[in-house]
Amino acid sequence: MIEFKNIHKKFGKLVVLDGLNLSIKKGGVFAVLGPNGSGKTTLIKSLLGMVIPNKGAILLKGESVLKKWEYRNHLNYLPQIANFPPNLSVIELIKMVKNLRPKESNEQELIELFGLEPFLQKKLGTLSGGTKQKVNLVLTFMFDSELIILDEPTTGLDPIALIHLKELITKEKEKGKTILITTHIMSFVDEMADEIVFLLDGKIYFKGSIEALKKQTKNDNLEHAIANLISKQYA
């Protein structure tokens, strides 16, 4: 479904992606992992067209996405930091995003799920970090798209919201959607992910199932298996 072909990206002198090749098939939860600054967000943002690669091609369902924008109607993205215009109220923001995307949405269900009704009329500037993240989740999940990209979705969520998030992801997965997640919470990966993509030095260092990773690193614990991979960078 998604194909990255020989992606190079430099920020000044810093090489972030260095000839990265990756193909992701349709359906399932893919966890994009890697140490801090390994290029996870850059990878995702180049798929979204927010970062423009120096070299390489990105194909979504066989079509190049570079310099295009219509394809974004077929994907949902949850940004890392939820910071919204402080003067808008929650409901206005939801209406605005709906207005920008001419697509069916089921925000009401999600608002109830995350218990956001009391906050609907509140200004976004007055909300706590966790509540903002919930609004962020509503905005991401309210559209029905084949591809869902979540950048650090668990940030600031309370345990109940986290359970709801997991349920949501499972539900979407069952519908045959492709879900990309970046996170540093390994228990979350262990629970949710079908496949792991591990980035190191701007390349794909490992791609495969959790079992395969555990086998390869001879480690039963995912957290340690990942730590094992990362420690090779420092070695």
Partner 1 sequence: MLKILKYSFFDLMRSRWSYVYFIFYLALGFVLLFLNNNLNKAVITLMNIIIVLTPLIGTIFGVMYYYNSKEFTELLLAQPIKRNTIFMGQYIGIALSLTLSLVLGLGIPFVLYGLFKSTAIFDFSLLLLVGTFLNFIFVALSYNIALSTDNKIKGFGYAILMWLFLAVIYDGVFLISLLLFNDYPLDKFSLIATMFNPIDLSRILILLKLDISALLGYTGAVFRNFFGTNFGMILSMVILSFWVVLPVFRMNRKLRKKDF
Tell the smallest beta-carbon distance from residue 36 to partner 1 (Å).
18
Q: Measured between alpha carbons, how far is 67 from 50 in angstroms, rounded to an integer?
A: 10
Q: Apex CA 53: angle with CA 52 and CA 56, to 5°?
A: 135
Tell the smallest beta-carbon distance from residue 185 to partner 1 (Å).
22
Q: Measured between alpha carbons, how far is 122 from 129 in angstroms, rounded to an integer?
A: 14
What track of x and - describes contact with partner 1 for positions 180 through 199 (by CB under 8 A)? --------------------
- Using CB under 8 A as the binding rule, whether residue 101 contacts partner 1 is answered as yes
Among 13, 36, 62, 99, binds partner 1 (CB under 8 A): 99
Token duo for residue 62: 């066989």
Residue whose tokens read 């956001």: 116
Residue whose tokens read 């496949």: 195
Cβ closest to partner 1, residue 155 vs residue 217: 155
CB atoms within 10 A of CB 113: 17
Contact status, residue 89 vs residue 120, Cβ threshold 8 Å: yes
Cβ closest to partner 1, residue 96 vs residue 160: 96
Q: Measured between alpha carbons, how far is 191 from 199 in angstroms, rounded to an integer?
A: 20
- Using CB under 8 A as the binding rule, whether residue 98 contacts partner 1 is answered as no
Which residues inside 67-86 make contact with partner 1, applying CB under 8 A? 69-73, 77, 79, 81-85
Cα first-last separation, the chain: 35
Residue whose tokens read 């000839």: 19
Tell the smallest beta-carbon distance from residue 117 to partner 1 (Å).
22
Cβ closest to partner 1, residue 66 vs residue 160: 66
Tell the smallest beta-carbon distance from residue 144 to partner 1 (Å).
14
- Using CB under 8 A as the binding rule, whether residue 160 contacts partner 1 is answered as no
Which residues sit at the interface with partner 1, rule CB under 8 A?
11, 45, 48-52, 69-73, 77, 79, 81-85, 87-88, 96-97, 99-101, 139
